[in-house]
Amino acid sequence: MKVLVTVKRVIDYNVKVRVKSDNTDVDLANVKMALNPFCEIAVEEAVRLKEAGTASEVVVVSIGPKTCQEQIRTALALGADRGIQIETEDMPESLNVAKLLAKVIDEEQPGLVIMGKQAIDSDNNQTGQMLAALTDMPQGTFASEVKIDGDKVNVTREVDGGLQTVALNMPAIVTTDLRLNEPRYASLPNIMKAKRKPLDVKTPADLGVELKAHTKLLKVTPPAERQAGIMVASVDELVDKLKNEAKVL
């Protein structure tokens, strides 16, 4: 079975995000970029399926300018077999991403698609679900456990009140939550090896997809600052403040 994994290049999660002074977007100039943490978990899960003999090949796809090849190489260093970059000028909207990926699925015919549940930049949590709808596949979102059982995959999902398990006919789409696995670090030999793994570049036109704008970003502003309050010296003072000043007790 072939497993398709998608990865996104995003701001490194340790970097403090700053909004541009003209409020047009966040400032990404000279900022450290990395593999989206949820995508990293997706790569790890796919590689584990290959190591277990369940998957025969792991194909990794990313969409964006040439710089996203860096994240594809990271995924290859973690154990994916080959990469596909879909070259776009900037980052397309989720629905366009889903349409591009649907065409890749058409060509590649994977048995399982593993994606991050959301990217830590746009925080949309929607591309996997959209892709599932466009390809008429079932979805196991926010997965904390993935078990393949014949032609079905059982996915345990992190839902608001606890855990839910669903059985999906394959091919299916899984989106990862944080506790699915702990991604490995790439070893130096594997990083070197990754440089020689195949990486195809395609354009939206190659795939026959026309990118459409559905939304307009009007402005980006910093969130309202919360003022630091006061330090209290004792539990007594704290209780007194909560009762008499904040009136929440």
210 is a site residue for another protein (CB under 8 A): no
> Could you give the CA distance from residue 183 to residue 67 in angstroms, rounded to a whole number?
22
217 binds another protein (CB under 8 A): yes
The CB-of-83 to another protein minimum distance in angstroms stands at 25
* Those residues with Cβ within 8 angstroms of residue 129's Cβ, 6 or more apart along the chain or in another chain: 139, 141, 175
Collapse the DSSP code of 89 into the 3-class scheme (helix H, G, I; strand E, B; otherwise coil) and give the result: coil
Instruction: Kindly state whether residue 207 participates in binding another protein, applying the rule CB under 8 A.
Output: no
Report, in Å, the least distance between residue 233 CB and another protein: 8
Q: Is 139 in the site for another protein (CB under 8 A)?
A: yes
Beta carbons within 10 angstroms of residue 91's beta carbon = 18
Site for another protein in 53-82 (CB under 8 A): none
Is residue 161 a contact point for another protein (CB under 8 A)?
A: yes
Q: By CB under 8 A, is residue 222 in contact with another protein?
A: yes
Binders of another protein in range 23-52 (CB under 8 A): 26
User: What is the distance between the alpha carbons of residues 109 and 30, in angstroms, rounded to a whole number?
Assistant: 38
Tell me how many residues contact another protein (CB under 8 A).
78
Pair of tokens at residue 190: 């594997």
Under rule CB under 8 A, residue 141 binds another protein: yes
State how far the Cα of 54 lies from the Cα of 51, in Å rounded to an integer.
Answer: 8
CB closer to another protein out of 192 and 242: 242
Nearest to residue 2, comparing CAs of 131, 150, 106, 113?
A: 113
Interacting residues with another protein between 92 and 111 (CB under 8 A): 93-95, 98
